[in-house]
């Protein structure tokens, strides 16, 4: 049977194309909120980091009602590093809204998420968003989107997609960009018409694939997924089937469905709906909740393998234990392995060292979000430089490659060509727009993109825009030059002084100011040359009664460069670590002792 009173859809798009803003408008026009209720912008981005960065990191569920039909909506991330979130939720829905910016058109991540949706057999409704922008070009965008469907091998039925023009921020939609309605009614009507109602077996045995999990301080672990068949009731006995293991008995304590921003407790739920349940605390993503008398497992969730890895370890700097509350290897290990239960694209492994763990993800941003979350939770630890994960294919070393789109002003196109040439990038396409901007498409090893974003912004004076998409594994490309400068390293432990820093800033750019605690081996700046330089940043001026205080010119220090977490991760060299605490980020050398580092460099040179 078909549940005509229900629709399940996911909203997919490239980052910053307006998914969350459109969901806001759908919620408001569905009368989810009271007339006088204060509602924040991007209400679905509930995580503090999501609001700060302006991106969606975790897929979230909500639901609205229109003409007696409940529409379950899954808001998904748009950044390529969080593609695992998109992959795991597509099995819960029957169709997708593909958002495309009316100016930018299809972007690299648009291709990724659309390919995954088409592989699942979903039909897509193309929503050309932001049509109210002055430079909007909806006809061009629709043609480019159609070409993308054909390139990805869409079926004839999938290629005949309906088109809705919308402005998420204004809450308007229409089937003609020049005849927009004052509401999203055309979008809702298109969803009811083109997204198929779920086919369900309401009388069959219950079957649910766990798609996401979360933890509540009062309810315990909450598992979320789509009920494929049967009915699940409050207090029902079920079977829990973990991947590769035998079924074991479990009991559902509470059953919830989604309405707006709330989870509403119900007594039972029927097949086809997206449900949240409590009581099965050891269930993980990819497990099956099935009938206790006839336990049949569903196919597990498959996501693409991670391509970048870092090591997480106990902080070993002289300042360890000063600021963090959770500092032991046991606590760090529990937190990292706990993250893998929520994030299927993350992989954690033990190493030969009991205090160090290898963490693999989709990209630098993927791992940076994990580091930032742990930091805010009170953890103190150290991480290494991000490295790509190699594969051995038929005895040949292969490495991951990315397809990169870079958009810059024509004045800076020479800088981009030079930077990508140093990173073994191969130009695939180059287009010049009417506005004078140049768009490059490069095929480049992932190694070449580690630490590249900051150099691109510097070379283009902050105007360069870069988007990348994983393009598979190919043979090793050879040496790649990623970092051109060395570090300024503190000579001794102490407090930095203006007198000591004034000499150091003549040799490069400082990361710290006066009056900052430093230790031997801590990186305090970037050298103007390609080798490291030890500096005495704590040196004080020796004053005597023969020297007047006004005899010398006042020392003036440049404003130190404020390094964010992303900047620190990009800056790291092979012999450096990042010390992460709730209050500070400190870059340091692996070997803190100056003499040991010199011996190590001499040994490596003579080897």
Binding residues for GTP: 16-21, 129-132
Token pair listed for 165: 């023009």
Q: 319 CB contacts (<8 Å, ≥6 apart)?
A: 517, 519, 579, 581, 586
> How many beta carbons lie within 10 A of that of residue 581, not counting itself?
22
**Cα separation of 325 and 379, whole Å?**
6
Comparing C-alpha atoms, which of 519, 515, 517, 524 is closest to residue 568? 524
Q: At what angle do helices 329-342 and 364-376 cross, to 10 degrees?
A: 120
Comparing C-alpha atoms, which of 261, 265, 276, 275 is closest to residue 23? 261
Name the burial class of residue 97, with classes exposed (0-12), middle (13-18) and buried (19+) by CB atoms within 10 angstroms of its CB.
buried
The upper half-sphere exposure of residue 128, i.e. CA atoms within 13 Å in the direction of its Cβ, equals 29
**Cα separation of 342 and 542, whole Å?**
58
Token pair listed for 65: 């009602």
**Cα separation of 410 and 438, whole Å?**
6
Token pair listed for 502: 């004034």
Decide if 71 contacts 9 (C-beta within 8 A): yes
Q: 320 CB contacts (<8 Å, ≥6 apart)?
A: 314, 327, 380
SS3 448: helix
Cα dihedral 155→157→161→162 (10° resolution): 180
**Cα separation of 247 and 207, whole Å?**
13
b/e code 121-152 from CB counts within 10 Å (16+ = b): ebbbbbbbbbbbeeebbbeebbeebbebbeeb
Comparing C-alpha atoms, which of 218, 274, 223 is closest to residue 251? 223
Cα four-point dihedral sign 77, 83, 89, 94: positive
Token pair listed for 107: 């972007």
Decide if 27 contacts 62 (C-beta within 8 A): yes
Give the phi and the psi of residue 489 in degrees, each rounded to 5: -115, 135
> How many beta carbons lie within 10 A of that of residue 315, not counting itself?
24
Binding residues: 16-21, 129-132
Q: Reduced to 3 DSSP states, what percent helix, strand and coil does the chain have, rounded to the nearest 5?
A: 25, 35, 40
**Cα separation of 361 and 390, whole Å?**
13
């Amino acid at each position: 049977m078909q549940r005509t009173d229900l629709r399940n859809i996911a909203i997919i798009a490239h980052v910053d194309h307006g998914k969350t803003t459109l969901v806001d408008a759908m919620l408001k026009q569905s009368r989810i909120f009271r007339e006088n209720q204060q509602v924040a912008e991007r209400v679905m981005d509930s995580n503090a980091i999501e609001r700060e960065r302006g991106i969606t990191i975790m897929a979230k569920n909500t639901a609205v009602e229109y003409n007696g039909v409940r529409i379950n909506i899954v808001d998904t991330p748009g950044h390529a590093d969080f593609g695992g979130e998109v992959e795991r939720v597509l099995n819960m829905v029957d169709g997708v809204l593909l958002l495309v910016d009316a100016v930018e058109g299809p972007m690299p991540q648009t291709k990724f998420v659309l390919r995954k949706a088409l592989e699942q057999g979903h039909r897509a409704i193309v929503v050309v968003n932001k049509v109210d922008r002055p430079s909007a070009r909806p006809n061009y965008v629709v043609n480019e989107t159609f070409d993308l469907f054909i390139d990805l091998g869409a079926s004839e039925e999938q290629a005949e997609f309906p088109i809705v023009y919308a402005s998420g921020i204004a809450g308007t939609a229409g089937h003609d960009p020049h005849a927009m309605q004052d509401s999203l009614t055309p979008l809702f009507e298109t969803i009811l018409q083109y997204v198929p109602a779920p086919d369900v077996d309401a009388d069959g045995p219950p079957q649910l694939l766990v798609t996401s999990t979360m933890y509540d301080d009062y309810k315990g672990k909450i598992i979320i997924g789509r009920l494929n068949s049967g009915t699940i009731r409050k207090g029902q006995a079920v079977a829990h089937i973990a991947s590769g293991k035998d079924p074991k008995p479990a009991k559902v304590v509470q059953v919830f469905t989604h309405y707006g921003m709330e989870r509403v407790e119900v007594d039972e739920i029927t097949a086809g709906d997206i449900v949240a349940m409590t009581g099965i605390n050891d269930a993980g993503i990819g497990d099956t909740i099935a009938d206790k008398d006839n336990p049949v497992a569903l196919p597990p969730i498959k996501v693409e393998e991670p391509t970048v890895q870092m090591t997480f370890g106990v902080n070993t700097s002289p300042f360890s234990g000063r600021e963090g509350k959770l500092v032991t290897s046991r606590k760090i290990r529990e937190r990292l392995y706990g993250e893998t239960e929520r994030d299927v694209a993350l992989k954690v492994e033990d190493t030969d060292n009991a205090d160090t763990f290898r963490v693999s993800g989709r990209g630098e941003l993927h791992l940076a979000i994990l580091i930032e979350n742990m930091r805010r939770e009170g953890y103190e630890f150290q991480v290494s430089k991000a490295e790509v994960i190699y594969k051995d294919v038929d005895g040949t070393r292969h490495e991951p490659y990315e397809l990169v789109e870079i958009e810059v002003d024509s004045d800076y196109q020479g800088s981009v060509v030079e930077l990508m040439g140093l990173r073994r990038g191969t130009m695939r396409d180059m287009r010049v727009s009417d506005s004078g901007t140049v768009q490059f498409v490069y095929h480049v090893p992932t190694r070449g993109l580690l630490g590249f974003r900051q150099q691109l912004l510097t070379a283009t004076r902050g105007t360069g825009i870069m988007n990348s998409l994983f393009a598979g594994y190919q043979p090793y490309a050879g040496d790649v030059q990623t970092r051109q400068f060395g570090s300024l390293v503190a000579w001794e432990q102490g407090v930095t002084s203006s007198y000591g820093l004034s000499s150091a800033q003549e040799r490069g750019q400082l990361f710290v100011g006066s009056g900052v605690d430093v230790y031997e081996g801590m990186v305090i700046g970037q050298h103007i040359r390609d080798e490291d330089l030890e500096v005495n940043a704590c040196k004080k001026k020796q004053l005597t009664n023969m020297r007047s205080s006004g005899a010398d010119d006042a020392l003036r220090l440049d404003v130190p460069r404020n390094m964010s977490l992303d900047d620190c991760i990009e800056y790291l060299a092979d012999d450096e670590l990042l010390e992460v605490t709730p209050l500070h980020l400190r870059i340091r050398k692996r070997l803190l002792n100056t003499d040991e580092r010199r011996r190590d460099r001499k040994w490596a040179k003579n080897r």
